[in-house]
Amino acid sequence: MANTNNILRNFRYGDKVIWIIYLLLCAISVVTLFSASSTLAYGSQEYTAPIIRHTLFIIGGIIVAGFVYFIPQQIIRIVGYLSLIVSIILLFGLLLYGARHHGAARWINLGLFQFQPSEIAKISLLVVVADLLSRIKEKEDEKKYFLIILGLTALVCGLIMVDNLSTAILLAGTVFLMMFLAQINWKYLVGIILVIGVVGFSGFKIAQKMVDNHYQFSGAFRRVPTWVGRIESAQEANNDPEAKFERDREGNYQAYYSQLAIARGGKSPLGVLPGNSVERDYLPQAFADYIYAIIVEESGIIGAVFVIILYFLILFRGGMLAYKTESSYTAYLATGLAILLTFQAIISMIVVVGIITTGQPLPIISRGGTSAIITSVYFGILLGISRVQNGKQIAAEQVRQESEENIPIVDIDEVE
């Protein structure tokens, strides 16, 4: 009974706002996927199979988050290094044995299930980067750890980029912001921006010309035509939105039907209400990268804004945790996790509304077993940081109160 009370009390120490946000996202995920998974149900010939499978992953994710919640940060730090090594090996394995879907090899097939090594690499790299940043105590330490972080990030993002450019950019951007917040020498950071800018622009121009000349890309560069096409599509969207819409109708069904779903949901503040989506039957990835379109269609502007607020609250609460914690390691880690979750959600949503054309799953909400479990680990770590922080504050307050109660009351008349 005492152990049960201790567990419940420890759960109470966790940040209540983060708990609520996480559970709300889980609930939204199950409700939305019930509508968005019609094409999955049609393919499997079982209407309930996809939603049951996803619900089990969500429940599993909640259990994982609760487990990670109690793991000491020192253990997470050690596991981060080990899992980074494993994920790098697995990413190399993807180049040879990855299960290919829609032209990209992002999954390792183990028979009973598939998983994405990039999801493990993302969280592992953030843990390691947070630890390395926390080790910078003197000015002479800065260059050493900056170069280590730069090398690890380049390796991991380079391996991810082969089949998932948007994830590589998201992860690299998060690491860059972590270094910025850690006040790494601005000359180093400006240097990174200049190098990436020059290499990226030059690489795009060369690739664009090669694509125009019908060069056959292979190996690690096999998705170059896809990258070039997406950048050109984004440029066209800015220059001539109507022309892009017409072109999407001819071939880019993801973008076309997502726009129709948003337009249909925008007719009412509450949309067409859950379960009444029409575009779910036409939108190829309604249950994955484009699930936000179904949210807008079924819940209108109110539901769309509510989801946006939830993700921005993650960034806000993560920043508060970083500000209050006494450990620089947990401060950097909380900041990195909050930035990654929020920015991934932003990318996913702006893809749906047609601003850019590279996809990202909506954290927790989109279908995906690996993504749901690993994202739950993110929340578990954030909640664990808040548990330790709040527990220390409560303990300190109790000591203060006990000290005040034990102070003897002195009668002034007796002193005289």
Tell me the mean pLDDT in the region 269-289. 69
For the segment 137-191, what is each residue's pLDDT rounded down to a tens digit?
888 889 999 999 999 999 999 888 887 888 899 999 999 999 999 999 999 999 9
Query: What average pLDDT does the chain have?
Result: 80
The token pair that represents 285 in the structure block? 């990835």
Q: Report yes or no on 285 lying in a domain.
A: yes
pLDDT band at 372, cuts 50/70/90? Answer: confident
Across the range 273-287, mean pLDDT stands at 67
Q: How far apart are CA 45 and CA 49, in angstroms?
A: 9
pLDDT of residue 402: 64
Please report the pLDDT score of residue 250 as a whole number.
46
Give the separation between CA 374 and CA 308, rounded to whole angstroms.
21
Nearest by Cα to 43 from 218, 322, 286:
286
Q: Are 329 and 73 in contact (CB under 8 A)?
A: yes
pLDDT for 242 equals 56
pLDDT of 415: 44
Winning range, highest mean pLDDT, from 203-212, 243-252, 263-272, 390-399:
203-212
More confidently predicted of 235 and 228: 228
- Is 267 within a domain? yes
Amino acid at 60: G
Tell the burial category of 219 from Cβ atoms under 10 Å away from its Cβ (0-12, 13-18, 19+).
exposed
Yes or no: say if 117 and 163 are a contact pair by the CB < 8 Å rule. Answer: no
Q: For residue 207, is pLDDT > 70?
A: yes
Which comes out higher in pLDDT, residue 157 or 256? 157
Are the beta carbons of 166 and 347 closer than 8 angstroms? yes
% pLDDT > 90, the chain: 35
Q: Are 303 and 271 in contact (CB under 8 A)?
A: yes
pLDDT in tens, 52-78: 888 888 999 999 999 999 999 899 999
For residue 195, is it within any domain? no
Q: Residue 153: inside a domain, yes or no?
A: no
Least trusted range by pLDDT, from 100-114, 133-147, 255-269: 100-114
pTM of the model: 0.84
- pLDDT of res. 326: 84
pLDDT in tens, 323-363: 988 889 999 999 999 999 999 999 888 887 766 666 678 88
For the chain, what is the domain count?
Answer: 1
Q: Which two tokens stand for residue 201?
A: 């622009």
Question: Which is more confident, 197 or 7?
Answer: 197
Q: Which domain holds residue 318?
A: 31-70+240-392
Q: Which residue has better confidence, 225 or 380? A: 380
CA distances from 103 to 40, 172, 369 (A): 19, 23, 20
pLDDT for the residue 106: 64
pLDDT digits (tens, 9 = 90+) for 16-36: 999 999 999 999 888 888 776
pLDDT in tens, 374-408: 899 999 999 999 988 877 766 666 666 666 666 65
Assess if residue 191 is contained within a domain. no
Comparing 96 with 102, the larger pLDDT belongs to 96
Q: Calculate helix-pair angle for 328-352, 165-181, nearest 10 degrees.
A: 140
What pLDDT does 286 receive?
A: 62
Q: Evaluate whether residue 255 is within a structural domain.
A: yes
Looking at residue 285, what is its pLDDT?
A: 63
CB 14 within 8 A of CB 383: yes
Q: Is the pLDDT of residue 202 over 80?
A: yes
What local confidence, expressed as pLDDT, does residue 213 receive? Answer: 76
Cα torsion for 371, 373, 375, 379, to the nearest 10°?
170
Structure tokens at 115: 């998983």
Please give the pLDDT value at position 192: 92
Residue 282 lies in a domain: yes
Residues in CB range of 406: below 8 A, 6 or more apart: none
Residue 357 maps to a domain = yes
- The pLDDT, as a whole number, for residue 234 is 64
Out of 6-10, 171-175, 180-184, 280-284, least confident range? 6-10
